Amino acid sequence: MEIGVVGLGKMGSQIAQKLSDSSFKVFGYDQDEELSKNLDSSYEIDNNLSSLMDRFTSKKIIWLMVPSGDPTNSLVRELSKLMNNGDIIIDGGNSYYKDSIKNSDICSQNGISFLDCGTSGGVWGLKNGFCLTIGGSENTYKEVLEIFNTLSTVETKGGLFVGSSGSGHFVKMIHNGIEYGMMQSIAEGLEILNNKKEFNLKLDEITQNWRTGSVVQSWLIDLIAGELKKDSGLGKFSSEVGDSGEGRWTIKESIDLAVPIPSIYASISQRFNSKNKNSYSGKILSAMRNAFGGHTD
């Protein structure tokens, strides 16, 4: 099966490589020529969409892994003019679910199938596989199931088809909102421990202890335990914590549905507040974001 992966950043390059390492003929595309030159890849890379299209000898399947909003939406419109009836676009980025519904309609008008895929796993996906939630036509999902089988984890083989267009990204949006709240709780607890100076607590040992048998054991605890073992002061991390949009969208949805989400709302507010102070909890959050997603801001 031939597939083009558009957007070869931290996760896009891993998706392309994981597919290339399997049975797929992969064609990569990124508008950043320098990034393309520096990739150690086993697949061919283009910096021109038209030349990417020319590489296909059969049905075109394009996996998008580009920033949400206008970059993705503009790309979908451009691709819909370059692709043929029956071709397939899979948006694996963190797009707003309402944008995905619109993009599905645009593609449908041009005879192109569109799937929205929430993709979780960060920079560990190549090794561990990705957690995938897919929305769109179930028939289209089944048509390209081999792709999802290859990218998903062993435990969630094929990912999870969740429903109509937009639902895959909607589930991922809520997933990320939950993630924000979990990270904030871990960060606040560790800041309390860090401030209890008379006990001279070793946070690397404490988090390592929590990794097994504890109610709060989790991948996030695993990741921060690793970072604290390397440097308990987290000196290389800023206390300013970025947000990539999904938390804000989750808050908007909670207002529309009249569903209270005080923990998630507070975690987003704290990320905004992190820009105004130098806190240990902010460094904890930054360290976790870097560990799972390679985020530098």
**95 vs 68: CA distance, rounded Å:** 5
- Using left for φ > 0, alpha for ψ between -120 and 50, and beta otherwise, residue 184 falls in alpha
Burial per residue of 138-152, b for 16 or more beta-carbon CB atoms within 10 angstroms, e otherwise: eebbebbeebbebbb
State the pairing for strand pair 131-135/113-120: antiparallel
Note if 172 is an active site residue: yes
Cβ neighbours of residue 78 under 8 Å, at least 6 residues apart? 49
| DSSP state for residue 197 in the 8-state scheme | G
Note if 179 is an active site residue: yes
Beta bridge pairs of residue 28: 5, 45
Q: Three-state SS for 247?
A: helix
Q: Which of 121, 247, 243, 225 is nearest to 178 (CA)?
A: 247
* Given the residues 18, 60, 172, 283, the one annotated as active site: 172
Burial of 55 (0-12, 13-18, 19+ CB in 10 A): middle
* Given the residues 18, 60, 179, 227, the one annotated as active site: 179
**194 vs 200: CA distance, rounded Å:** 8
* Residue 275 CB coordination number (10 Å): 12
- Any idea which residues carry the catalytic annotation? 172, 179
